Structure 1
Amino acid sequence: MKMLDTGDVRLHYRVDGPDDGPPVVFSNSLGTDLRLWDPILPMLPKGLRLIRYDKRGHGLSSCPPAPYSMGALITDAERLMDHLGVRDCVFVGLSIGGMTAQGLAAKRLDLIRAMVLSNTAAKIGTPAMWNVRIAAVQEGGIEKLADAVMERWFSAGFRATPELELWRNMLVRGEDAGYAGCSAAISGTDLMAPTSGLRLPVLGIAGAEDGSTPPDMVRETVDLIPGSKFHLIRKAGHLPCVEQPEEYARVLTEFLKGVGHV
């Protein structure tokens, strides 16, 4: 575990694998920390430089006062990658992490040679919807939203297992200000124009039972980029890397090989 002080936030990050390995950067969803990727990492090819981090207000990173902007989240990722000397990575972003990926690719294409847009979109929800959720967190904490979030995150089958408690605990033990701050960032973001101008290899991944970013929403965003690919994972919700890690790792590995990153 390591910490980078960027000046306005301290980012917790972790690097696994050789320093000279092809870099793969992971950016996780709202309400989760870098442990989101634990289920798939052992199944990925050896020799990769696997970089994970907790975005501001999440995990072990510091929690500046809300609200946050998408520009700030993109700059956080940019500064971390510059600090680590990362160039030409494959960037894997899930949900808000996928929005970060799109914005970063539009800003610094030297950092990203290919990206995976998982359970995400160029625009997610409406400001009115996010304002309701932010108000709920401010009034009653994340706990007030937790059951509804679990329904959007996971399939009915997974919600019936003991493992659900792991992810519910991760959510509710997070910082209220971090959740509200990142919600505000999503609320104010529409990346349709910059994403439609991107020209790089892209894989879209969707969960068939995703209540946050349904498959059609993911496909619409991925289709903005010519030559992109799309994969639907069944029996999975918003976090298919948790519910179907074997399939997720297989599809990601095939993409890495297809773009010559392995």
Structure 2
Amino acid sequence: MKLNYKKTGSGPPLVILHGLFGSADNWFSIARELQEDFTLYLVDQRNHGDSPKSDEWNYQVMVEDLYELLGEIDEDKIFLMGHSMGGKTAMNFALTHPERVEKLIVADIAPRYYPVHHEQILQGLNSLNLAEIQSRKEADEKLAEFIPVAGIRQFLLKSLGRDSDGFIWKINLPVITENIEEVGQKLESDEQFFGETLFLAGANSDYIKDSDCEDIYSFFPNYQLIKVANAGHWLHAEQPKAVIEEIRKFLL
């Protein structure tokens, strides 16, 4: 699958993968601060952003998508970073194609299984009748009945686009809803990635627990874990300066 991506900056290649319900746009502000040091590729994973939609959606095909993208952009070896779902894609890619990854950064996700916990979000998104919605404000108000946190609604509504007929979802909402369990799947591999690996955890997030360290080590023996203070799961949005600093320290 030919993925959509944004390219900026100059220097060694750094590919960044967004999380569930996100897009390349989520990383623009980070990219602006890093573009003097790296050539950044901000990628829309399948069924997200402006990349194609597909009924097939799992980590195996997302790894294949990334491999195809590296051929397209003619980058042999990369720095690879992924957040949440993107972190799972990045981990799977590093285990499958270790020769293509110079260093790996995984943001607030561990290799373990995560039970489905997006029911309220999916219920809210699926409740919107886009044919009747007249404005983003109206969409936000209706979504608030299911999702009370304004920041989460703002994030989700970034995937609300328009075409000639009105509002559309850029995400493939039916396929994501049907296959949501795929997002939480644990890593299944007999391989290890021996390259340098940084796990960035939000100090206020429970996505990476101390009990995950043994599992992380089994796949990524050359890893370090850093907890970003005053940050939850969306650490790059909550503490961008700290995240940028850790990326620079690790990669440069």
TM-score (structure 2 length as normaliser): 0.78
CA offset at residue 179 of structure 1?
3.3
CA offset at residue 209 of structure 1?
2.0
8 Å contact kept, 2:114–2:186: no
Rounded to whole Å, the distance in 1 between the matches of 2:22 and 2:120 is 16
- From 11, 24, 35, the counterpart of 2:25: 35
8 Å contact kept, 1:103–1:194: no
Q: Does 1:89 align with 2:78?
A: yes
Q: How does 1:240-259 map to 2 (within 5 A)?
A: 240-257=235-252
Larger Rg: 2
> Which residue pairs with 1:155 in the alignment?
none
Identity level (%) = 19
Q: Which aligned segments of 4 or more residues in structure 1 are displaced greater than 6 angstroms?
A: none
Q: Does 1:169 align with 2:157?
A: yes
Letter in 1 for 2:64: T
TM-superposition CA deviations, 1:45-96 (whole Å, max 9, x none): 614110111011111112112x512101111111111111112211001111
Q: 1:71 to 1:80 in 2, by over 3 A?
A: same
Q: 1:182 to 1:113 in 2, by over 3 A?
A: farther
Q: Which moved more, 1:248-257 or 1:55-64?
A: 55-64
8 Å contact kept, 2:58–2:182: yes
CA offset at residue 12 of structure 1?
1.1
CA offset at residue 22 of structure 1?
0.8
Q: Secondary structure at the match of 1:199?
A: coil
- From 89, 92, 95, the counterpart of 1:106: 95
Q: Secondary structure at the match of 1:74?
A: helix
Q: How does 1:153-232 map to 2 (within 5 A)?
A: 166-170=154-158, 173-175=169-171, 176-177=173-174, 179-180=176-177, 183-187=180-184, 189-191=185-187, 193-194=189-190, 197-210=192-205, 213-216=207-210, 219-224=213-218, 225-232=220-227
Rounded to whole Å, the distance in 2 between the matches of 1:101 and 1:186 is 13
TM-superposition CA deviations, 1:95-114 (whole Å, max 9, x none): 11111111111111121111
How many residue pairs were aligned?
229
8 Å contact kept, 1:69–1:184: no
Letter in 1 for 2:69: L
- From 51, 54, 59, the counterpart of 1:70: 59
Rounded to whole Å, the distance in 2 between the matches of 1:61 and 1:208 is 32
Letter in 2 for 1:83: E
Q: Which runs of 5+ in 1 are unaligned?
A: 1-5, 151-158, 258-262
RMSD after superposition: 3.1
Q: Which runs of 5+ in 2 are unaligned?
A: 129-138, 161-168
Letter in 2 for 1:223: Y
> Which residue pairs with 2:134 in the alignment?
none
